[in-house]
Amino acid sequence: MNELKECARFANLLEVKDICTHMGFIPENPCEPLYADFIVALRHLVKFYGSFDISLNMETGQETPVTLMRVLHDINESNLGLNFDPANLLMYGKANPIDALYLLGKYVNGVHAKDGEYPTNGTELGLEKPLGKGSVNIEQFIKALFDIGYSGAITIEREISGEQQMKDILDACSLLRSLIISKGV
């Protein structure tokens, strides 16, 4: 909690208005005591961020879209939103990212361009893939972004290192550019 508050103070000095983070693993059952404790802590944090006019954006992936929707409704503050990572939803086995985007679209303040696969066993995450090479269906994902009226940044995320990372990022730039241009932007 203290580190996240320090992030808000630092962001305020830089005049940054959005911070994105994973919230950990939010209990899916709202009757669990840990869920209620999480809501109390998050509400406090969101109000603190609001005092700086900063939005706190939960990154998608570790929770189902319904759990995220419940949290957003339970907190009910305009400066709590989402950073939408379609690959995380697949890699954690939580949802089809296109369906999730239509469900959560009005809360999306940021987007990661990342691709991946569903898990193939019960002990490991699904694999991250270069953009356009996984199961996100990036063409439909971009269409869905247009459909929900999203006009913010799309940040390429490729969590490997070395020359292949640079190649994959450049390829993702080309792919995104062609998809966005074909939609008339």
CATH number, domain at 127? Answer: 3.20.20.150
Helix (H, G, I), strand (E, B) or coil at 180: helix
Residue with tokens 């953009």: 131
- Whole-structure pTM value: 0.94
Question: Phi/psi of residue 30, each to 5°?
Answer: -70, -10
Q: Which residues on neighbouring strands pair with residue 115, listed in sequence order?
A: 129
Percent of the chain with pLDDT over 90: 96
pLDDT for residue 24? 87
Look at residue 182 in the predicted model and tell me its pLDDT: 86
Task: Map residue 90 onto helix, strand or coil.
Answer: helix
Among the listed residues 50, 41, 135, 39, the one whose alpha carbon sits nearest the alpha carbon of residue 88:
135
- Residue 70 CA: distances (Å) to CA of 35, 54, 74, 77: 11, 21, 6, 13
Helices (H), 33-158: 33-50, 65-75, 86-91, 97-104, 138-147
Q: Write down the pLDDT at residue 184.
A: 58
Is the Cβ–Cβ distance between 12 and 58 less than 8 Å? Answer: no
54-91 pLDDT per residue, tens? 999 999 999 999 999 999 999 999 999 999 999 999 99
Domain encompassing residue 160: 2-182
Retrieve residue 86's tokens.
């379609």
Per-residue pLDDT reduced to its tens digit, 21-37: 999 899 999 999 999 99
| Domains contained in the chain, number | 1
Q: Which of 85, 143, 134 is nearest to 112 (CA)?
A: 85
